[in-house]
Structure 1
């Protein structure tokens, strides 16, 4: 973004409203998404009793999201209120916004690695599965590295972010968002492939797998579209702050889709938990691992693993039980 792009002149440069208008409306949307995150988090922690690691990651995501929201509020106050009508604040990026960018990178990376964890729980064999998991990790780490590099440049050259954009900062931002989008695309394709391969042709199992695929695809479309839109606005509209409006909402989308996947178990349980499904065959056992990985179940006690009994006191909302000749899986 050039200096002339943010400072109005006599020839009819952009006004204060034209520069900050998109950021203001993006901020309004982020407040709504922040409220949705709070609701999603409340529903998750009051309904489910997952493994400690999953609950710890969920708690971290929620805390980081609230912290990000507070930092965005402070930054919007600084840019729009104390110096209303002046473009002087755009001369430097605030420390709060720098920290928010780092939090955004951590949330994005955590969400992507949680998909790797789900794929790992599937324990699918074959070179394709291994390559896809490796690509998600590599692309996610490259994207995180690019984002950390962006934050470092923002701290080192705060006066070359909004105006007279630093070239290295622009390159690192492109790497962060480009590889982030690539990791999300691969994660979505990988999970859909594994779920598709588990289809046994039995109506109830197929319906459940299709529902899971819809969740995965919708999540992938949302976050990938946000990353691509951020890339486009960052490079194609350098004379405005459209990219900043998209950026402050991308983090919220990752948090909301993360909790949305976890909380989707309630509707799936209500839809498919009527009765027990007695299936057989190795393919069905593989299907169970895929479904359990995509939507993790509440932990079982040793007695449950031994006798295969379902105790509703130890399950937050009950579970869908799929029984084969050799395996009992609580979904």
Structure 2
């Protein structure tokens, strides 16, 4: 029973999670094409490619479930067999990972003012991860056995691929966090700080999810190479990358709305015209009949409107000045 739960059960559980995440990917793709019809063709092509890869990955998972639970149902000896569909899920996941990591590397390149010393190693490591996954796929198809695949070679190739995936995620998250905190430290706008804080939280969450999934699959692969728990977790990795890309694209309008402060900055509603002197009282609250008699409601309302307008215009000018100063750097996060 333990062997079945850690082999077939792990595959079935991982496939169920992957199907759910694939549905979220499809929903986000529909939202993207409806919300951003004027995006660059390259970005639309990227989204289309990621969606196509996600559907292909899901189809391969379905084919593997049919292999284990339909074609060879009840044949426990097939638990060590690697169908071609399982092997292809590895390279499809690697291609998705490479595309998404290059997308975020582009954001780092913009934020670092085209610093290739930072961005270059990220792209190179991501390319090596794709190469390692491609070798793993070829070896899986040739060996057709999990026990043979777990040998020193090509086992270390698969280990290297997962390690590179987690490492690149950590690098991307770390650099994005660094540039966001740098922008936050130099801006004095409350609206900008709020937008940057929300974006920082989102960056850490998405980076942590993808890296934790890769690390969890790597740990299970190293500690429990005789079961398929690592494979069930590996099914989820590509879906998380696709969702992180689409979430980043679909939140751009919200970022613009937050950066502009709903079109007008928020100012506390002070009522300077209704002071104690205007109401005919002194500092200690004693009434002054003469001042009350001279109180003109129309003049008071005019005073309120004029002073409130002056306060709001001053605040808006200050905020707009700050936004113009940092908008070019922050727009790297709003553009695809």
TM-score range, shorter chain: 0.7 to 0.9
Looking at CA atoms only, which structure, 1 or 2, has the larger radius of gyration?
A: 2
What displacement does 1:223 show? Answer: 0.4
Alignment correspondent of 1:288? 327
Deviations for 1:278-321, whole angstroms, at most 9, x for unmatched residues? Answer: 5347x954x32332222316xxxxxxxxxxxxxxxxxxxxxxxx
* 8 Å Cα contact 1:208/1:268 also seen in 2: yes
What displacement does 1:88 show? Answer: 2.6
Taking the TM superposition and a 5 Å limit, the aligned residue runs for 1:43-192 are 43-48=31-36, 49-124=38-113, 129-159=115-145, 161-162=146-147, 165-192=150-177
- Where structure 1 has 5 or more consecutive residues not aligned to the other structure, the ranges are 1-12, 298-331
Task: Quote the Cα distance in structure 2 between the aligned partners of 1:85 and 1:289.
Answer: 61
Deviations for 1:109-148, whole angstroms, at most 9, x for unmatched residues? Answer: 11111011112233526xxx54321221122122112111
Question: Secondary structure in 2 aligned to 1:50?
Answer: coil
* 8 Å Cα contact 1:91/1:163 also seen in 2: no
Deviations for 1:156-190, whole angstroms, at most 9, x for unmatched residues? Answer: 2223x355623212101111111111111111111
What displacement does 1:269 show? Answer: 4.0
Which segment drifts farther, 187-196 or 132-141?
132-141
Taking the TM superposition and a 5 Å limit, the aligned residue runs for 1:144-293 are 144-159=130-145, 161-162=146-147, 165-199=150-184, 200-273=187-260, 274-275=262-263, 279-280=320-321, 285=325, 287-293=326-332
* 8 Å Cα contact 1:121/1:289 also seen in 2: no
* Structure 1 length-normalised TM: 0.78
Task: Quote the Cα distance in structure 1 between the aligned partners of 2:76 and 2:148.
Answer: 10
Change (3 A) 1:123 1:132: closer
1:38 partnered with 2:26? yes
- Where structure 2 has 5 or more consecutive residues not aligned to the other structure, the ranges are 265-315
* Structure 2 length-normalised TM: 0.77
Task: Quote the Cα distance in structure 1 between the aligned partners of 2:57 and 2:235.
Answer: 9
Question: Secondary structure in 2 aligned to 1:279?
Answer: helix
* 8 Å Cα contact 2:139/2:149 also seen in 1: no
Cα RMSD (Å): 2.1
Task: Quote the Cα distance in structure 1 between the aligned partners of 2:54 and 2:87.
Answer: 15
Change (3 A) 1:137 1:164: closer
Question: Secondary structure in 2 aligned to 1:239?
Answer: coil
Higher helix share goes to which structure? 2
Change (3 A) 1:136 1:231: same
Which segment drifts farther, 57-66 or 259-268?
259-268
Q: Would you say how many aligned residue pairs link Structure 1 and Structure 2?
A: 279
Task: Quote the Cα distance in structure 1 between the aligned partners of 2:48 and 2:96.
Answer: 12
Deviations for 1:169-220, whole angstroms, at most 9, x for unmatched residues? Answer: 2101111111111111111111111121112121111111111111211111
* 8 Å Cα contact 2:105/2:119 also seen in 1: yes
What displacement does 1:31 show? Answer: 1.0
